[in-house]
Structure 1
Amino acid sequence: MGQPVTLAVTPPAHVRIDHYSAVHVAAAAARALGAQCGLPGAMPDQAAVLASELASNIDKHAKDGALYIQPLPLSGGVEILAADRGPGMPELERCLADGYTTVGTLGAGLGAVRRIATCFSIRTQVGAGTYASARLVRPEQADAARQSAALLCLPADLEEHCGDAGAVVDTGCIRTAAVIDGLGHGSEAAEAAQSALRSFRTAAAHPLPDVLNAMHRALRHTRGAAVGLLRLEGAQARYCGIGNVRAVALSHEGVHHRLTGQPGVVGWRMPTPKTHSIALPAGATALLHSDGIDARWTQDPSLFVLRLPPELLTASVMHHHRNARDDAAVLAVRPHQRHL
């Protein structure tokens, strides 16, 4: 059996960087999460440094930026995602060097992030913006920090609970992913999503229609959910979904597939599930998202966006295409490899 991995049960801290005081808010959120996740010793303080430096970089150099601070999708650590709308960094490698600054500060920011983080990725484009991911885990979990899967879920504005959820299960070289959208908002939607998630963890190794049928039974006494399932094995993927959870396959050349689920509600009125097989080009990323993301983002994505790794792709899609009045989830995966 594969090992089920929950990707973000609790919503991340979403910190808009619109004033320098937000830097302190981000640092405090990262420190608290590090302690909550059981990071030992000084590691919660290291998480705070990562958040502080990424937030400071946005405050000093960018516009319309935010940090998303959450439990690391694939282990017991912390992930800090940063996104902004520009102006980007024309000399990224110089910006990553200790001592480099354009505003008269010490200039240790991004260099310190690269040193402290277990895994650090960053991409930038002049005029388009910058995306960064800093993952911090115990030393013995370093491989988990490099896994090629990522998820970001946010509740609708003014909501405490998120009705969207996601998970990934690896069984040998087969990777199965799910995005679940509990109907409506609030605690009842979150309850439906978590019931579906528990069922998925138990049944994930079975054929995809059987997984949906198991989730359907589990949700009979909830308000129900839309569910999208995606199974990756080598250069092939299979999609099975009910409701408005969309699947997209991306490569460096463009968008290759756009799929949405069959009409219905898991837990209430569900048709016989059907599975669609799609070919994945070399290096492709498969992505699932709920209807809290504007589906028009796939119409003409830039080459810069198409080439983002999963963790930065989720940040980009969420930051630019989220409907703030609805819960939203974005999950991006590449085929599972035993050694990443």
Structure 2
Amino acid sequence: MTPASAGGTLHVPIDHHSAVQTAADQARALAWQCRMPGALPDQAAVLASELASNISKHAYDGAVFLQPSPLERGLDVIAVDQGPGIGDIGLSLTDGFSTTRTLGAGLGAVHRIATAFTIRSDAGHGTLAHAQLRAPHAPRPPADVGALCLPADGQTACGDGYALAEHDDVRTGLVIDGLGHGPDAAEATQRALRTFHSCSDAPLPDIISALHRALRHTRGAAAAAIRTAAGTAEYCGVGNIRAAVLTPQGVHRQLTGDAGIVGYHHPRTVSRTFALPRHARVVLYTDGIDPRWTHTPSTVQLRLPPTLLAASLVHTRRRSRDDATVLVLGPHPGTP
């Protein structure tokens, strides 16, 4: 089990039947940490238990990811596997349906309990499921945003991080990769995230400059900011955080930051503005994700919703000896 840093992602490999209980216990504990009221912590445990149990019974190479939802408006329980897939998703969501002679609660219970539930399954590509839980009357997290952020194996502090801000019809995202990993990298990243939230509506080059000033007495970091509005995007970055624009047809565009280290050597950054094709998604990811995924993304990945896409990349392309973050911004609600 990989621990989650503040606001990060908890990773529970489902490699033994005992991991089902571990996933349930960790989901309940995270819900308590998020101060979810009433029966919601127990409901979070049920979601994690049922999704983990499905992996344990029917699949292999699976994991459950647990985290606060983007903008901390709920709790995400995400399950991924490399199993045979589900032949009839609609039938599997029916209470009482079972292929293993059990009570058949499974996905039907998840669908009933979750505030929102998304599932994709494909023969040869396994199954991805995202159950979101939030308190009554809590603001709805943006459905077109997905992110996961994990520390390197053996680390309790994550040197990566991401942030998201919304101003009217404009969305601004930031991904930070503190140099190295561990507590010193995490300190630089947390300082950068606090700085971002104080100036998230500024021009993107000004945001990067503000981060540079804030990180002068830290280890330093790579940083990339993305801003999306209807049909357009703007990118600005320093260091080795990469960006890819995906459409259902393939990789439409790739971008990298300018050479430098935020907090040490800050080149004059210039943002790049470009049109976003219809149904395009922008993916920002740190070097804990193998960039070769952009060479041959599967047709399944190209059509995944943002949260499931982020989970797929982390599960299949993560370099476990480094911190890893993926932020996906889907088509803006105002895109024609």
Instruction: Provide the TM-score with structure 2 as the length reference.
Output: 0.96
**Corresponding residue for residue 4 of structure 1:** none
**Corresponding residue for residue 86 of structure 1:** 83
Query: Is the contact between residue 73 and residue 139 of structure 2 (CA under 8 Å) also seen in structure 1?
Result: no
Q: 2:167 aligns with which of 160, 165, 171?
A: 171
Count of matched residue pairs: 331
**Corresponding residue for residue 253 of structure 1:** 249
Secondary structure of the residue aligned to 2:267 is coil
Q: Give the whole-Å Cα distance in 2 for the aligned partners of 1:117 and 1:233.
A: 30
**Corresponding residue for residue 188 of structure 2:** 192
1:295-314 alignment runs, 5 A limit = 295-314=291-310
Amino acid at match of 1:286: V
User: Is the counterpart of residue 122 in structure 1 residue 119 in structure 2?
Assistant: yes
**Corresponding residue for residue 63 of structure 1:** 60
**Corresponding residue for residue 179 of structure 2:** 183
Q: Give the whole-Å Cα distance in 2 for the aligned partners of 1:326 and 1:176.
A: 25
1:154-233 alignment runs, 5 A limit = 154-233=150-229
1:292-331 alignment runs, 5 A limit = 292-331=288-327
- In the TM superposition, what is the alpha-carbon distance from 1:324 to its structure 2 partner? 0.4
Secondary structure of the residue aligned to 2:138 is helix
Q: Give the whole-Å Cα distance in 1 for the aligned partners of 2:139 and 2:103.
A: 29
Secondary structure of the residue aligned to 1:143 is coil
Q: Give the whole-Å Cα distance in 2 for the aligned partners of 1:143 and 1:158.
A: 34
Secondary structure of the residue aligned to 2:260 is coil
Between 68-77 and 197-206, the greater mean CA deviation after superposition: 68-77
1:215-272 CA-partner distances (Å, limit 9, x unpaired): 0000000000000111101111111000000111111111101111111000001110
- In the TM superposition, what is the alpha-carbon distance from 1:336 to its structure 2 partner? 4.2
1:230-245 alignment runs, 5 A limit = 230-245=226-241
Between 183-192 and 103-112, the greater mean CA deviation after superposition: 103-112
Amino acid at match of 1:143: R
Q: 1:106 aligns with which of 88, 103, 107?
A: 103
Amino acid at match of 2:199: A
Aligned sequence identity (%): 53
User: Is the counterpart of residue 275 in structure 1 residue 260 in structure 2?
Assistant: no
Q: Give the whole-Å Cα distance in 2 for the aligned partners of 1:56 and 1:142.
A: 30
- In the TM superposition, what is the alpha-carbon distance from 1:150 to its structure 2 partner? 1.6
Query: Is the contact between residue 163 and residue 184 of structure 1 (CA under 8 Å) also seen in structure 2?
Result: yes
User: Is the counterpart of residue 23 in structure 1 residue 20 in structure 2?
Assistant: yes
- In the TM superposition, what is the alpha-carbon distance from 1:203 to its structure 2 partner? 1.3
Q: Give the whole-Å Cα distance in 2 for the aligned partners of 1:336 and 1:211.
A: 22
- In the TM superposition, what is the alpha-carbon distance from 1:337 to its structure 2 partner? 3.3
Q: Which runs of 4+ in 1 moved over 6 A?
A: none
Amino acid at match of 1:321: R
**Corresponding residue for residue 3 of structure 1:** none
Q: Give the whole-Å Cα distance in 1 for the aligned partners of 2:211 and 2:10.
A: 29
Pair 1:250–1:141, CA change in 2 (3 A) = same
| Structure 2 gap segments, 5+ residues each | none
Q: CA RMSD in A?
A: 1.4
